[in-house]
Every structure is written in C-alpha cells, then in structure tokens.
Amino acid sequence: MKNKFLFLFIGFSSLFLNVNAQPDRWQQHIDYTINAALNVNNNIVTGTEELLYTNNSPDTLRKVYFHMYWNAFTPNSAMDIRSRELGKNLLNLKRGVVSASNANNLGQEAVQDWDRRVKDRIQKLSTTDLGYQKVIQVLIGGKAQKLVEHETILEVQLTNAILPKSSIKLSLKFEAQVPVQIRRSGRDNAEGVSYSMSQWYPKMVEYDYQGWNTNPYIAREFYGVWGNFNVNLKLDQTYMVAATGVLQNPTATADAAGLKSWNFKGNNIHDFVWVADNHFKHISKEVRKGLTLNVYFKEKDAQSDSAWNNVLWAAEKALPYIEKKFGAYPYPQYSFIQGGDGGMEYAMATLLKGPGLGTVFHEWMHSWYQHILGTNESLFPWMDEGFTSFAEDDISYWYEQNIATQSPFISEAAKKQLQVNNEKAKLQLPAIQYGNYGGYLTLAKSGLEEPMSTHSDHYNTNYAYSSAAYTKGATFLGALGYIVGDAKRDNILMNYYNTWKFKHPNANDFIRVAEKTSGIQLQWFKEYWMNSTKTIDYGLNDIQVGKQGAIISIQREGKMPMPIEVLVTYKDGTSELHYIPLDLMLANKIVEGAQERIVHEEWKWVQPNYTFETLKPLSQLKSIEIDPSQRMPDINRTNNKLEIPN
C-alpha cells in the first residue's frame, strides 16, 4: 500500500486544465472542523466534528453513513474473524490451497495465508489494548438523529432528507480508544512510535454514481469524500505532532495544564492522519516555491539517522522526474512519517516503518493514484496499488541509475554496490517491470488467481488479493506499453492524470483515455485482463521453406489474444522485426526504436495460429524469437525462441 492543502482552489481550474475536455462527473463535498484531545495516560480520544456536507448528486439522501474504523480492533470483529479464517488456508504456489494432511507432506512449501501483521492478534487484545469508536450524538439543527451501529459503519437516519444540490450541517460528538498498533493505526508500534493516528475520526462514507460505499473495515482499502479539513489537536506538550495539512500555529505554547494545541488545515483532500511521539526529530526543506517536504523519525543511531536524512534528499531529487512522468504534485507540503506497520498512504503524508526508498517512492506515488485521482480501491485496487507499484519500479530504476550514488547520506561501500547493481540491471529485460511480471506469472500458474474485478474484501485468499492488486495491476501497464508502445503508454498516464484528477475514475475511464491517446481500440484488453484469468501463451510452431523466405508458424496456446512481435536474426548479423497486429485493435502501435518493422495482416483473435514469410531463405536463419523485448507477460517463454544450429 506495498497530498494536500489550503491551496488556491479558486484558481484551481487553470492549474488542472487539460487539452481534453474535463469529464462531467459530480462529486460530493465535505468540510470538516474537528476538535480533538488525546489523553496520553489512558489513550482515550474525545472530540467533536462540525460538518458541512454538500450533496452534488441528483439523488435525495435520507441517510448518511460514517466509517468507524477502530471498532475493527475488538475481539470477534469482522476483521478479526476474517483474518483468522484466511489464516486457516494452507497455500502452495504449485498446488493452490492444500489440506492439513497434504501439507505435512509438502514441508516448508505450504504456508498459512495470514496477513502477517494481523494474524490472530485482535482476538487476544485486552480491554485496555483494544480499539473502539463511539459516536455519542449527531445533531442537525439542534435535533438528535437516530443512530444505528453496524460495527465499523454508523448509519445516521435523517429527520429531514438532503435534497439534490443542497448542503446540510451536522454536529457530531465522539470518543475513541487508541488500540495497540495492529494494522496501520495504533500506539506503540514496533519502532516505538507512540501514536499512529490513522482512521481515527468518524469519517463520512463516499456516495457516488454507484451509491453508498459502505464497506466494513477488514484491513483492505479506502475511499473517501474530497473536502477541506480544519483540525485542532490537543495533547501533552512533550509530544511532537506530524500530520496531514499545513500547521497553522507553529509558535503555540502549552496551557496551564501542560497541554499544547496543534492546528492543521488541508484543502481538497479525502483523509487526515497524524502521528505523535515525544522523541521525534523533524527535518524539512522547501524544495520549490510553495512546496515543503518533511521527514519525521525517531532518533536512534548515526546509521539510522543518515537513512532518514537520505529520504528527504532522495525525495527532492526524484520529484522533478516524478512530476514530468506522472503529473504535477498540487499541494503545499508532504510528510514522510515514521509510524504504522509498514507503509501506508494518507492525504499529504505517509506512515513508514523504515526509511527504505522503495517504500518511500511507493507510498508517495499513492498521492497521485489514491489521493489525487481517488479511485475506489475496494472495486479497483489494481488501479491504485498496481499503478503505484509500476511507478515505484520506474522511479526506483531511474533514481538508482542516475542519482543514488550522489547521495551524501550513503557510505562509499553502498555506492560501489549500487554501481554493480546498476550494471546488472541494465542487462535485465524488461528492466523496470521485471519484478512485477514475475509476481504476476507466479500468481497465474498458482491455481489461486481470481479476476481483478473481484471486490478487495472478497478474495478467497490474501495471496490472490495482494498479487492481483500489486503485481498483476503493475503488469497491466507493462503489457499496455507492449500493445501501444512505452512512450504512448507514458502519454496515456499523463493524460489520465490530467483528465481524471479529483474525479474518482474507474477502469473504463482509464481505457477511454488510453484509446483516445493511442488511437487503438482497447476494451478487449481491459475485459481479458480485469474480468478473466485467461493467460497469454504464444509459441513457435513450425518452419518451412517458402517461395522466397522461410514460412514461420506461430501458435496461440493461451486463451488471451495479443498483437505479436517476432525478431528474425540471420547468420550475416542482420535482422527483421515482424509486427502482427491483433484484429480487435483496429490499428497499429507506434514504431519503437530505430529498427524498421515489417507489418503483416491482422491476426484474427478467433484463429489459433498464424503464418508469415521472412525476406531471406530458411538456410540463412540464425534465430527466431517471439516478443524480443519481453514485455508481453507470456506464461511460458520456453517456446518463444528458437536457435538454429549452423
């Protein structure tokens, strides 16, 4: 899971305009004013919310809903039960789910399908260590509304409906207990960070063109209403607070009781996180006018401190590349904060267990795909996690090849190792998406794969969910580059960002941008990749003597059709690149590289084999290779290349 401010949104349209017309999709809007106090002696949070909710939909709303995430951290909650049930699955990536008796014969090959961070820990929580959230009352116009609790979802039955294109003010009073850190939120994480305050406030559920998104919290993904946050936090003065938004009162002092108030504001965001610790170190830099990057971490030792300083250095160096490749970052600050249980993105901030740059880049890129584009992760986790994983690998590869060895915060030995690794990386094909392809291919062969259209919460295994969302999602973009050309794919990503930011795009929205940008029909690609588990497998079939050249036959072994590239190399060192478009595309991809290609007639997707003729005779052939760039995620490459002996 491998952001954002009070930002001139009156001039917002000029900053975010695209050459394409902006899609007309209504969005709900909410203004939060939250006043909360944390008692560090008993870990209780009390607070109030004043909400201005604007119903921009064409529908009359007679109920509203709130997320109450921390109720998941109670024994026998849905999250607890789900985790323990999935943990009963014994997985073998060659045999799928296996029985306990068979597992004894498989030894170390069979593993429990735990989310290793959660396991059965919730069931064991004591009354002082569990988490809860209670909404004491919701008032509208001074009248109490009827509340119905559904564990992590609170239903508010309204005395007066919210009409289309109208707004309503709600006043809410709540209390919560901070759980021991289990998943993302909580206190006293593994590194000793005192409070990781994510999913900590009653958060309005998103209502969109598909209705209310009332997903119970079982540790998966998120979705939210964009709006403006004005948050006041009060706690013991010995704690430093890092948070979403821009700090409004940096010179504030404690009151007579030793409590200090922190006021943060952030605009056009859909979540708010904060972290508090009494041994935090804060470093920051204004990396360009109007944008400050922050890093908060617990001081430990010289090596650890250097690694956290390297986070700030690397983020500044990578930002121009990121914005050129994936779009402009629109907010005035971003904070990398030590806390949580690994890496988790929030508005204008991320929680990081450690300073590893792969996780840093991954979580930061969620700002683009989750917090600016705001895809519904429950329905399309691969559009966030997969696109973010693809971007992470792209940025990491660029950074390591061009910047990493210049850092003043890594040792000379580490720089030398980086140089060795970089030379090896240049030899890998494909250099960027290599790891994600491997993860997807393992999934496709495991017998555990489910369609990517499966709701995040309803996968049969943790493994199938994470592999589909991360590696298959990232491979989607790698394969798209193969179909339309990498440069055109990059144009698609930029146009997608500029067209759909702040509008909650779905899978078809992305494909329409891809089609308009490339001129290629791509619905078939989305349907096969997202809605099925059909795989790609092409192989060389037969070679015969033709009238002029060699006649090469290719067989489609898998059920998913693709356009095909074949590199024919001759004994004299020359070569031919043969391109066979797929009939469903109704167009050809752009020419890539300096080598000219020979374009053949379309391959009908219903036809299992295809033949074409080379320019030179069979006697001169040295090798034939399907997909020489290795960007097509073929599940069996053993039949893709033939070396012809002299």
CATH of the domain at 283: 2.60.40.1730
d(CA 498, CA 248): 30
Same-domain check for residues 582 and 516: no
What pLDDT digit, counting tens, does each position of 255-305 carry? 999 999 999 999 999 999 999 999 999 999 999 999 999 999 999 988 999
d(CA 287, CA 458): 42
Element (H, E) at 36: strand 29-39
What CA–CA distances, in Å, run from 149 to 71, 127, 183, 490? 10, 20, 22, 45
Same-domain check for residues 110 and 141: no
What's the pLDDT band for 14 if we cut at 50, 70, 90? very low
Same-domain check for residues 476 and 372: no
Complete DSSP assignment for 540-586: EEEEEE-SSSEEEEEEE-SSS---EEEEEEETTS-EEEEEE-BGGG-
The CATH number of residue 599's host domain is 2.60.40
What pLDDT digit, counting tens, does each position of 139-171 carry? 999 999 999 999 999 999 999 999 999 999 999
385 within a domain of the structure (yes/no)? no
Same-domain check for residues 509 and 584: no
Same-domain check for residues 495 and 604: no
Same-domain check for residues 150 and 21: yes
pLDDT for residue 23:
76
d(CA 460, CA 618): 51
Question: Is residue 488 a contact partner of residue 517, using CB atoms and an 8 Å limit?
Answer: yes
How many Å from the N-terminal Cα to the C-terminal Cα in the chain?
51
C-alpha closest to that of 278 among 242, 248, 247 = 242
Same-domain check for residues 590 and 473: no
C-alpha closest to that of 452 among 533, 331, 372 = 533
Q: pTM of the full predicted structure?
A: 0.93
Domain that holds residue 522: 418-531
Q: What is the CA radius of gyration of the chain?
A: 27
Report the domain count for the chain. 4
392 within a domain of the structure (yes/no)? no
What pLDDT digit, counting tens, does each position of 196-236 carry? 999 999 999 999 999 999 999 998 878 999 999 999 999 99
Least confident range from 95-99, 185-189, 218-222, 301-305: namely 95-99
410 within a domain of the structure (yes/no)? no
405 within a domain of the structure (yes/no)? no
What's the pLDDT band for 594 if we cut at 50, 70, 90? confident
What's the pLDDT band for 93 if we cut at 50, 70, 90? confident
d(CA 220, CA 457): 6
Same-domain check for residues 222 and 147: yes
DSSP state letter for 591: P
User: Could you say which of 531, 558, 588 is where a domain stops?
Assistant: 531
390 within a domain of the structure (yes/no)? no
Same-domain check for residues 211 and 319: yes
Summarize the confidence of residues 81-98 as an average pLDDT.
Answer: 85
pLDDT for residue 222:
87
Same-domain check for residues 32 and 61: yes
Classify burial at 622, counting beta carbons within 10 Å of its beta carbon; exposed 0-12, middle 13-18, buried 19 or more.
middle
402 within a domain of the structure (yes/no)? no
Give every strand in the sheet of 550-556, ordered side by side: 538-545, 550-556, 609-613
pLDDT for residue 422:
84
Same-domain check for residues 208 and 348: yes
pLDDT for residue 221:
76
* Longest distance between any two alpha carbons in the chain, whole Å: 97
Residue 468: phi and psi, rounded to 5, are: -65, -45
How many CA atoms are closer than 13 Å to the CA of 148, on its beta-carbon side? 7
What's the pLDDT band for 1 if we cut at 50, 70, 90? low
**Structure token pair of residue 601:** 């007639």
Least confident range from 4-13, 116-125, 188-197, 318-327: namely 4-13
Q: Classify strands 207-208 and 211-212 as parallel, antiparallel or unpaired.
A: antiparallel
Same-domain check for residues 364 and 282: yes
4 within a domain of the structure (yes/no)? no
Question: Is residue 621 a contact partner of residue 643, using CB atoms and an 8 Å limit?
Answer: no
User: Could you say which of 109, 124, 139 is where a domain stops?
Assistant: 124
The helix/strand/coil state of 483 is: helix
User: Could you say which of 83, 105, 124 is where a domain stops?
Assistant: 124
What pLDDT digit, counting tens, does each position of 37-55 carry? 999 999 999 999 999 999 9
Cβ atoms within 10 Å, residue 325 = 14
394 within a domain of the structure (yes/no)? no
Mean pLDDT of the chain: 93
- Is residue 327's pLDDT more than 50? yes
Summarize the confidence of residues 314-319 as an average pLDDT.
Answer: 98
